[in-house]
Amino acid sequence: MEERIDVDAPLWDQTTFYGRFRHFAWMSNPVNGLVSSNNLENAKTLVTAYKKGEEPEGTTKEQVTKAMQLYKSAFHPDTGELQNIFGRMSFQLPGGMLITGAMLQFYKTVPAVVFWQWFNQSFNALVNYTNRNANSTTTTKELGIAYTSATCSALVTAIGLRKLCEKSTNTLIQRFVPFAAVAAANCVNIPLMRQNEILNGIAIYDEEGKLATTSKTAAHTGISQVVFSRVTMAAPGMLFLPLIMQKMETKPWFKSRPSLHAPFQIMGVGSFLFVMVPLACALFPQTAEITADTLRNQDPEAYEDLQKRYSSSDKIPSVFYYNKGL
């Protein structure tokens, strides 16, 4: 009898970086974004049926793994709801390629800087909301404040640094301004978009998948890791491409064809993101762990809840799990 697949678990070992990289490369494949909503719903139906042992007769292992790929790429792990296509990780490559390429190309005028930083932060806000820990609700007002604050921080950073760099004759320094703005905005955008998790904590579960309590420490750790991953995701393309462009612009054939500059940068960003999206997502496990000792020392409110739930400290599990988001 063929061994059944655990559709709730990744196909690769998530305790290793390589296993996580393979998982996120599989899940964030941009081709997944081209699949219709109807086919995505069919994939969810097959995964759900297979989990119950009620899949159609003759269903193959390949069909199940393909359905898993589509399901995990498009549906939220907490709610099971179909995510907005522009907020999915499978859209990070085409979306990030176009927006980052435009920011690197059109950095010379204030209106262009303002527009593309606003556009980028709008995109980031959607991605951050889509990939949040959905067990913590956020109001429309909180989302509006987060979006406005993150956009303003990006614009202030970008315009401020650009003004400082205007006195410099080194155009390379000016080319690095977009990355500085993106990094600064990520440090604001993600925590603000997930502020409810920071203030009230996120759900943590025992090894049986049962809700144990909510933890602010888990939220702080998870969000910090997401910020680091997002900055890492953008860094190579936004730091190395200015160096590449500076070198390319010394070549007469390239300098005399300005119409090639934007497509070249867009494709260059895409090449970096093709590797960096799964790599950055794989830096930390999506299902993170937090120990009871950590909660006792750093999150006494959560630990007190655990003591009530598990009656006595000797019955409290040593490790709990939570979705840190992406």
Question: Which has more pLDDT, 15 or 105?
Answer: 15
For residue 50, tell me if it sits in a domain: yes
Return the pLDDT at 135: 64
91 and 137 belong to one structural domain: yes
pLDDT above 90 for 250: no
Return the pLDDT at 314: 63
| Structure token digits, residue 188 | 């604001």
The per-residue pLDDT for range 219-238, each reduced to its tens digit, is: 999 999 999 998 898 888 88
Q: Once rounded to an integer, what is the mean pLDDT over residues 257-273?
A: 85
| Structure token digits, residue 84 | 């907005």
130 and 265 belong to one structural domain: yes
Residue 241 near residue 266, CB atoms below 8 Å: no
Q: Which domain holds residue 26?
A: 17-74
SS3 (DSSP) at 212: strand
95 and 67 belong to one structural domain: no
Give Cα 234 distance to the centre of its chain.
11
In order, the DSSP letters of 25-51 are HHHS-GGGGGS-HHHHHHHHHHHHHHH
What's the number of domains the chain is made of? Answer: 2
163 and 94 belong to one structural domain: yes
Question: Which has more pLDDT, 17 or 184?
Answer: 17
Q: Please choose, from the candidates 156, 191, 192, the residue with its C-alpha nearest in 3D space to the C-alpha of residue 177.
A: 156
For residue 192, tell me if it sits in a domain: yes
Task: Tell me whether residue 182 is exposed, middle or buried, using C-beta atoms within 10 angstroms of its C-beta: 0 to 12, 13 to 18, 19 or more.
Answer: buried
For residue 115, tell me if it sits in a domain: yes
Domain closes at, from 253, 272, 287: 287
Q: Once rounded to an integer, what is the mean pLDDT over residues 78-87?
A: 85
pLDDT above 90 for 38: yes
97 and 211 belong to one structural domain: yes
The per-residue pLDDT for range 127-172, each reduced to its tens digit, is: 877 877 666 666 777 778 777 877 787 777 777 777 776 666 666 6
70 and 94 belong to one structural domain: no
Return the pLDDT at 312: 63
231 and 269 belong to one structural domain: yes
Q: Once rounded to an integer, what is the mean pLDDT over residues 191-200?
A: 82
37 and 127 belong to one structural domain: no
Lowest-confidence region among 33-42, 256-265, 292-301, 308-317: 308-317
Q: Please choose, from the candidates 46, 165, 50, 35, the residue with its C-alpha nearest in 3D space to the C-alpha of residue 107.
A: 165
68 and 136 belong to one structural domain: no
Highest mean pLDDT of the ranges 108-112, 215-219, 241-245:
215-219
Helices 61-74, 17-27: axis angle to 10 degrees equals 80
